[in-house]
Structure 1
Amino acid sequence: MPETKEQLSPKAAASSIAVLIPCYNEEVTIGKVVRDFHAALPGATVYVYDNNSTDATAEIARREGAVVRREPRQGKGNVVRAMFNQVDADIYVMVDGDDTYPAEESVKLVNKIAEGYDMVIGDRLSSTYFEENKRPFHNFGNKLVRSFINRFFHANVRDIMTGYRAFSYSYVKTYPCLSRGFEIETEMTIFSLDKNVRIYETPIQYRDRPEGSESKLNTVGDGVKVLNTIFSMIRQYKPMPYFNALAAVFGAFGIGFLISVLVEFSQTHMVARFPTLIVSVLLILIALLLFVAGIILDAHARKDRKDYLLWQNLFAQAPGAASAENGVVRGANARDVNTRDKR
């Protein structure tokens, strides 16, 4: 028996919806992507942000009825920053322009935002990603990043780097987009986990790029950027364990050197290796300084989380930011990544 096609809920249907598509040289697929989203979300406005394409991406998108804008700063993170700043809507859907994500899946994402979630993640990895994606290093990287972030943030997010997401108005307007390139999805997920925004994750179908469409992702170069983003954000959002780990390393070496000097002193009642003693004391002092830095920065990180929640709630209640007439809930502050669709 064929599966019943999901329909927009009354709340979602009464909301303004923006489909955001960052694009760089996607003339092979962008026309179909725009048509598919017009069909899946008839009342939505489709925005295509052209990131210095050298092909006919912008012309094709415009011909298919999309609102086309240009972002001169190269990089997906720069495009996302521009889209979030410039577009106003009740609900946002962000998707890649490579036709790897089915447009009909967006209805599920939009309905969850209308229920009150701040970010809905389209989970490829629980569906067809590993069968469709023919790049083994990409598959390995997705698993590695997922395992590391979930372990460190005590979360259960299945797909950290998916490009298919939906957002609430308050999330989009209070999210500080700092990344410039493809590491934006990783940054977005870590930020959301740290700030305890309400997240929902639902499995979506994934298909590999059609013939003639080439990926812009550099496996090694962008992989290094993603890892750098992870460690940078851990230092920012989880300073206590980060600096405690460094302190433990320096302290272990310092104490090890000091013990060797003390053993020798207990036998000869003389300190024959003053340089070793000095180095050991310096290492222990560095460890203590790192430990204190972790305590101070952890207090700052806690204050940052509190300030974000206050700003998000204030922003959601500001004039023009609420949609009481259509029942859209904004500014929720609970994480729900363990609630998952079954397919």
Structure 2
Amino acid sequence: MDEIAVLIPCYNEEKTIEKVVSDFKRELPEAVIYVYNNNSTDNTAMLAAKAGAVVRNEYMQGKGNVIRRMFRDIDARCYIITDGDDTYPVESARKMIDFVLNKNADMVVGDRLSSTYFSENKRPFHNIGNSVVRKCINILFHNDIKDIMTGYRAFSYEFVKTFPILSKGFEIETEMSIHAVDKNMYVENVVIDYRDRPAGSVSKLNTYSDGMKVLKTILRLYRTYNPMGFFGIIAAILAIISAVFFIPVMREYVITGLVPDFPTLIVCGFTMIAAIQSFFAGMQLQTIVQKNRQDFEMNLQRVDNDKKRLMNL
């Protein structure tokens, strides 16, 4: 088991990867630095190896796939994950590691949005998207993570070995944040200075398509982690629609004793039945979610025992 593992997923980062690896080797000489090359067509892998990183390959394209492979392959007491584009300050790593190793944090978030992100980042729609995603998740999941989509984080062994990665691409950061909140893990925020990519380094993010994937991920995870809330909202909307159309029919019946709009009455009845079904579906799924959380706590104890065993080897 490594004491500290620095994980750098890379796709065509030859402009910056050598500097990123060298900076981490200088700041964290005791750490093992892993660069996972994700089908790069440039000299990323060669330059990373030249700088002293352990270079491995992941052939399934997408950041989520790379991180899944990293988390499976590597055992460490503390993991630092960062991007290979030299936008995150290596000087903040020591403070993030301290939270994991000495204060039992499960995830430490490198918070860009509370410092220089909005002034340094030259893509205005990325700024808006980050703010929208942060607000949505903090409202839906009742938490206060300062930067949902940052690529600079530190993790405990327990988090890494119990995190079921489903996302294939850049939605992975959102999934990490929601998993930590839902499983009541200890999350800390460390404010970091963000700098934009250097000249010649190109972002792999597509503002619109990746933004839509992130929003779909939030919706999917809200349905998965809080089915009572998700299906309860659907039930409430259906019940309101049914009531709005039923009231005029009921008023007409009270006044005249007649029901002239039978089709409306029938549709209102079916809509209310759908609302009731949605409500009880949410209740049943919430019971399953609660059972999964209990199973997760038992699995967490097993992972903790595995960690102790590895540390004693």
User: By the TM > 0.5 criterion, same fold?
Assistant: yes
**Which residue does the alignment assign to 1:315?**
303
Is the contact between residue 93 and residue 110 of structure 1 (CA under 8 Å) also seen in structure 2?
yes
**Which residue does the alignment assign to 1:36?**
23
Look up the SS of the partner of 1:317 in the other structure: helix
Looking at structure 1, the residues matched to 307 and 237 of structure 2 have their Cα atoms a distance apart, in angstroms, of 52
User: Is residue 2:166 matched to residue 1:185?
Assistant: no
- The 4+ residue runs of structure 1 with deviation greater than 2 A are 318-325
Higher mean C-alpha displacement, 177-186 vs 14-23 = 14-23
User: Is residue 2:71 matched to residue 1:84?
Assistant: yes
Q: 2:59 aligns with which of 47, 72, 76?
A: 72
Write the deviation string for residues 21-57 of structure 1: whole angstroms up to 9, x where unpaired. Answer: 0000000000000101111110111111111111111
Is the contact between residue 242 and residue 268 of structure 2 (CA under 8 Å) also seen in structure 1?
yes
User: Is residue 2:7 matched to residue 1:20?
Assistant: yes
Q: Give the number of the structure with larger relative contact order, counting CA–CA contacts within 8 Å between residues 6 or more apart.
A: 1
Is the contact between residue 2 and residue 75 of structure 2 (CA under 8 Å) also seen in structure 1?
no
Look up the SS of the partner of 1:16 in the other structure: strand
Look up the SS of the partner of 2:76 in the other structure: coil
User: Is residue 2:189 matched to residue 1:201?
Assistant: yes
Question: Aligned AA for 2:60?
Answer: R
- Greater helix fraction, Structure 1 or Structure 2: 2
Percent of counterpart pairs with the same letter?
Answer: 52
Look up the SS of the partner of 1:68 in the other structure: strand
Higher mean C-alpha displacement, 299-308 vs 75-84 = 299-308
Distance 1:190 1:240, change over 3 A: same
Looking at structure 2, the residues matched to 265 and 45 of structure 1 have their Cα atoms a distance apart, in angstroms, of 77
Distance 1:319 1:266, change over 3 A: closer
Looking at structure 2, the residues matched to 207 and 319 of structure 1 have their Cα atoms a distance apart, in angstroms, of 36
Structure 2: runs of 5 or more not aligned: none
**Which residue does the alignment assign to 1:58?**
45
Distance 1:61 1:15, change over 3 A: closer
Looking at structure 2, the residues matched to 39 and 276 of structure 1 have their Cα atoms a distance apart, in angstroms, of 73
Structure 1 position 268, deviation (Å)? 2.7
Alignment TM-score, normalising by the size of structure 2: 0.96
**Which residue does the alignment assign to 1:285?**
273
Looking at structure 2, the residues matched to 15 and 187 of structure 1 have their Cα atoms a distance apart, in angstroms, of 25
Question: Aligned AA for 2:10?
Answer: C
Question: Aligned AA for 2:180?
Answer: S
Looking at structure 1, the residues matched to 171 and 139 of structure 2 have their Cα atoms a distance apart, in angstroms, of 19
**Which residue does the alignment assign to 1:163?**
151
Alignment TM-score, normalising by the size of structure 1: 0.88
